[in-house]
A and B are shown apart, each in its own frame.
Chain A
Amino acid sequence: MVIPIRYHVRNVTVRWRSTLATLMGIALVVAVFVLLRALAAGIEKSSAQTGDPRNVLVVRKGSQAESSSLVTREQLQALQYLDGIARNSDGQPLISADVITLLLAPRASGDGEANLLLRGVTPRGRELRPQVHLTNGRWLEPGKREVVVSENLARRFKGLEIGGTLKAGIGRLLVVGTFSAGGSAYDSEVWMDADEARLLFEREMYSSLILRPVDEVAYRSLTNSIESDKRFALRAEREVEYYAKQTLTAVPIKILASLLGSAMSVGAVFAAMNTMYAAIGSRTREIGTLRVLGFSRLSILLGFLLEGGLLAFLGGLMGTSVSYGLYQYVILRGITFGTMNFQSFSETTFQFAMPPILLLVGLLFSILVGVIGSILPAWRASRIPVISALKSL
């Protein structure tokens, strides 16, 4: 039988003033940990939300990203007559060649410039991505140097408001509309006409192809004929699978979360340890009394581990509450974050994502901090000789 839990619970709450600093320290660590993980989760979510399960993306064999892929006009010509490609209401095959390039643009915040991902698309390309919808202005006209930009980028860069212009090589591109793409990777892109883009940037080739097979059987035969044809040297995979792999961008933030999280948690462990040493020091006679009454060393040890865990859990509860509050605020205000995409080297925007599991991990993390910090103090408490404990003041 162990010491009643209420004994430890009340001890934590009774001396809340002396434990507040420790609680806040642990809360801070947990909040930082959870928020950094929420950023990483946001980037991954944005990748995961991109793509239509019916679409197939075709890139050059060996290229990891669309931006480093090349597809020739001959390849487009050959592919668009393959059997099994779905057709739109006008009877045209649903296949589109995109041109991907990077543009340097000044940040709205004023601190320097960053790369924007510019996607040249055809009208078919827009049909294949119904999640992209116009929110303001009008859609671009083929054959003109016009662009539509994602709302996220419009907020983050200078000159991307409707009517603004964007410097592109020797020319300028007119912003005619803004779009939103449901939290997907397209929310970090600028779109223009594909052939106009090839002219402007003097590109012979396209970057990637997107197409839609009529059904699952057609999907298999199409990918098979594209990939097995030695002349093509192309790779075909579902658009959703391609984007699901584009999570490299989240890696630096994940590393930061781990480094910062572990460095700070060492500090939090010591804070918990200090608090528990103080708590045990001031309760030596109580511990002696419990021992005299017949409570074993083990129950003293477990009791104080529990108390340390409980203390840190309260801190963790504070920390996760703060980070959840911040998350709700950010979502409500529609605030987005930007970082460098490490596959396309362009600015990518995203929102926090805070799945419940992340909050749970934060809480478990805090309990762990408390229990680890309490091991030495609890061990000492359980080893105090009864007689000297009783004589202590």
Chain B
Amino acid sequence: MAIEPIVEVRELSKVYLQGETNVVALNRVSVGIQAGEFVVLMGPSGSGKSTLLHLIAGIDRPTSGQVLVRGINVANLNESALAEWRNRNVGFVFQSFNLIPVLTAAENVELPLLLTSLSSRQRREHVAAALDLVGLTERAKHLPRQLSGGQEQRVAIARALVTDPLLVVADEPTGNLDSKSATDVLTILQSLSREANKTVIMVTHDPKAAAFGSRQLHLEKGEIVA
């Protein structure tokens, strides 16, 4: 039985205007991603892997083509609907963590929940569960600068998971980490796809990191080559 892909990318193109020349970042890419997959996007700089990730996650708009997530064409949503869609459906993990420096770990994790209708008690329970999942319950009241890079990235993962999103997207999540911390982070992402059946899409340069994924897509010059 053929399973409907959770993410369906159809003929997706992105063209940037750089100075007076058009730069094709993504050229009519089509791909399907199933629920529970851990897809790794690889390729040299400028190959379009980050652009593809941003388009799937709804933080950038395509020049043409469609991104269907559970049948919804993300490219058609207006600005505020898109913000709401991101909040409900996508968890983000960035290379440089992007935690809010003045908020504690728990407050950072709670941020996306403030846009939901959960009560403050429910929010606290969700935050506690997410921090427990990444093994940082004891660091809940620490500010980001009081945490190590690996711990910061785990807080960021907790923030990505706390809304129970359909997709977790990660852009070079281990780029700023030592190899021990990188392994911790990748193990968490892997177990999300294997045990919690989350769909994880990760961009990386690092073949060792890529080995944690269940499928690798190689991009070059805006096209999927393997």
Contacts and interface: CB of A to CB of B under 8 A. Distances in A.
Interface of A: 1, 3-4, 6-7, 10-11, 14, 285-286, 288-297, 386-387, 390
A10 B115 contact: no
Interface in B93-152: 94, 96, 98, 100-103, 107, 111-112, 114-115
25 contacts: A1-B115, A4-B107, A4-B111, A6-B107, A7-B100, A10-B103, A11-B102, A286-B101, A289-B98, A289-B100, A290-B100, A290-B111, A292-B86, A292-B92, A293-B87, A293-B112, A293-B115, A294-B84, A294-B112, A294-B115, A296-B79, A296-B83, A386-B59, A387-B59, A390-B98
Contacts of A390: 59, 94, 98
Interface in B63-103: 79-80, 83-84, 86-88, 92, 94, 96, 98, 100-103
A4 B106 CA distance: 13
A51 B98 CA distance: 69
A14 B101 CA distance: 10
Output the residue of B54, B84, B115 with the most chain A CB within 10 A.
Answer: B115
B4 interface: no
Chain A contact residues: over half helix, strand or loop, or mixed? helix
A387 B79 contact: no
Contacts of B159: 293
A294 B90 CA distance: 10
Interface of B: 54, 57, 59-60, 79-80, 83-84, 86-88, 92, 94, 96, 98, 100-103, 107, 111-112, 114-115, 159
A290 B88 CA distance: 14
Contacts of B114: 1, 3-4
A292 B59 contact: yes
Contacts of B79: 296-297
A288 B88 CA distance: 17
Contact of B103 (A7, A288, A295, A296): A7
Chain B contact residues: over half helix, strand or loop, or mixed? helix
B92 to A, nearest CB: 5
B98 A294 contact: no
A383 B18 CA distance: 21
Q: Nearest 3 CB-CB pairs, A to B? A: A294-B87, A10-B102, A289-B98
Contacts of A296: 79-80, 83
Nearest to A8: B102
Nearest to A3: B114
A158 B117 CA distance: 76
A390 B57 CA distance: 14
Contacts of B102: 7, 10-11, 14
Nearest to A286: B100
Contacts of B101: 14, 286
Nearest to B79: A297
A293 B109 CA distance: 11
B84 to A, nearest CB: 6
A295 B94 CA distance: 17
B86 A293 contact: yes
Nearest to B57: A292
Contacts of A297: 79-80
Contact of A293 (B54, B60, B80, B111): B111
B75 to A, nearest CB: 15
A14 B103 CA distance: 11
B26 to A, nearest CB: 13
A293 B89 CA distance: 10
A111 B188 CA distance: 83
A56 B83 CA distance: 73
Given A286-B100, A293-B111, A386 B87 contact: no
Nearest to B89: A294
Given A286-B101, A292-B92, 9 more contacts: A11-B102, A290-B111, A291-B83, A293-B87, A293-B92, A296-B80, A296-B83, A297-B80, A390-B94
Contacts of A7: 100, 102-103
A130 to B, nearest CB: 63
A288 B59 CA distance: 10
A90 to B, nearest CB: 79
Contacts of A11: 102
Contact of A285 (B84, B98, B107): B98
Contact of A295 (B83, B96, B98): B83
A205 B100 CA distance: 82
B107 A294 contact: no
A308 to B, nearest CB: 16
Contact of B60 (A1, A3, A295, A387): A387
Contacts of A1: 114-115
Contacts of B100: 7, 286, 289-290
B117 to A, nearest CB: 9
Contacts of A6: 103, 107
Nearest to A12: B102
Nearest to B80: A296
Contacts of A387: 54, 59-60
A10 B114 CA distance: 18
B25 to A, nearest CB: 11
A1 B102 CA distance: 19
A285 B92 CA distance: 14
Contacts of B107: 4, 6
A359 to B, nearest CB: 30
A295 B114 CA distance: 9
A348 B15 CA distance: 77
B219 to A, nearest CB: 18
